[in-house]
Structure 1
Amino acid sequence: MAATARYILGIDPGLRSTGFGLIEQSGSKLAYVASGCIKTDDSGTLPERLLTIAEDVQSIITQHKPDDVVVEKVFVNVNPQSTLLLGQARGAAITAAVLAGVTVHEYTALQVKQAVVGHGKAAKEQVQEMVKRLLKLDATPQADAADALATAITHAHSRQGLGALAPELLAKRKIRQRGGRMV
């Protein structure tokens, strides 16, 4: 029986440029669907820029109908103002997904780099190259789009691990690990 295809939309939030990447997962196979960047006008007010992000994410969701949206978690920058702005861009993207009724998942940059490159200190260029290879792309994706695609790939990989097991299988596994006692 063929695996049901799932569509995963990854989002790499940013106030100037929010990357997005959509992949199709069918069993263990991943396929590129679309990617790009949502650019906001530097001269616009913060609310206008956040609205652009929310509306564009909503439009992407309406067009492609993903099963899951995956957003990179915010890390604390040296500059608190930058961290706050990044968090607001992230919130606009998450809000758009929630309003569209799509489940939102989150991963840290460290988790994404570990899942895609193999170590958490990978450079952006390494992430771009691995995304290109994993999705069999002809060209290297732009950095923000590559980060978004990497986030989607991370979620696809996590769905294939223990998180993809049926709850009853997980319960049996826990019983075996605890020496036959139910925990």
Structure 2
Amino acid sequence: MRVLGVDPGLTRLGIAVVDGGTGRAVTAVAVDVIRTPVDDDLAVRLLKVADGVEAWLDRHRPGVVAIERVFSQHNVRTAMGTAQAAGVVALAAARRGLPVMFHTPSEVKAAVTGSGRADKAQVTMMVTKLLRLTEAPKPADAADALALAICHLWRAPVRNRMAEAEARAAEFAKAHRARLAAAAAQARSGSGTVAK
């Protein structure tokens, strides 16, 4: 499976492509940062993000896009820009019919380092090690994009199995309710007759 990982941001958007192999084998395909000038109008910046992401989607043809879920930050303006950039990425993926998955920062950290409270240096170190890179990806946005792709590759099989199990459980529950309803209806119709 090929995953496009995105660490959304308006000034710097980390973007990476990682291929998943058998087991937990992962291979970095490409990593970079899409930058937009802070002096540009918001609409122009979002257009530059969209153009950059669409070029990556066309070039690398991922099967899924993994985006970091935006949480409220102390700086509302930064949070809004981050959320808008994430929306542009999700839209570009949806236009191509690609599934989009959102992962929380703690999910990503836990998947890559084993701790949901890991700092950026720990995430970068583990990404470098897991992907057998000769040097650490910089800036941190690039490392975070790689970590998002790895997180999705490792968590997707578990999520899929859980979704399948939930779907089977729902089907069993539906069939069980139908049998109970049929038995109750039969009992009601049987109790209406008087034995002679």
TM-score normalized with structure 2 length: 0.81
Q: Percent identity?
A: 35
Indicate the RMSD between aligned Cα atoms, in angstroms. 2.3
Structure 1 residue 26 and structure 2 residue 15: aligned? Answer: no
Contact 1:7 1:66 in 2 (8 A): yes
Classify 1:89/1:165 alpha carbon distance in 2 versus 1 (closer, same or farther; 3 Å): closer
Structure 1 residue 154 and structure 2 residue 151: aligned? Answer: yes
Pairing 1:53-68 to 2, within 5 Å after superposition: 53-68=49-64
Matched length: 173
Structure with more of its chain in helix, by fraction:
2
Classify 1:163/1:42 alpha carbon distance in 2 versus 1 (closer, same or farther; 3 Å): same
Shift of 1:131: 0.3
Shift of 1:149: 0.7
Specify every segment of 5 or more residues in structure 2 that has no aligned partner in the other structure, as ranges: 178-196
Which is further off, 158-167 or 91-100?
A: 158-167
AA aligned opposite 1:114: A
Deviations 1:81-113 (CA, angstroms, capped at 9, x unpaired): 221111111111111111122110000101101
AA aligned opposite 2:118: A
- The equivalent position to 2:85 in structure 1, one of 66, 81, 89, is 89
AA aligned opposite 2:76: P
Specify every segment of 5 or more residues in structure 1 that has no aligned partner in the other structure, as ranges: 1-5, 176-180
Runs of 4 or more consecutive aligned structure 1 residues displaced over 6 Å after TM superposition: none
AA aligned opposite 2:7: D
- Structure with greater Cα Rg: 2
Distance 2:2 2:161 in 1: 15
Classify 1:182/1:38 alpha carbon distance in 2 versus 1 (closer, same or farther; 3 Å): farther
- The equivalent position to 1:131 in structure 2, one of 127, 130, 136, is 127
Shift of 1:164: 4.4
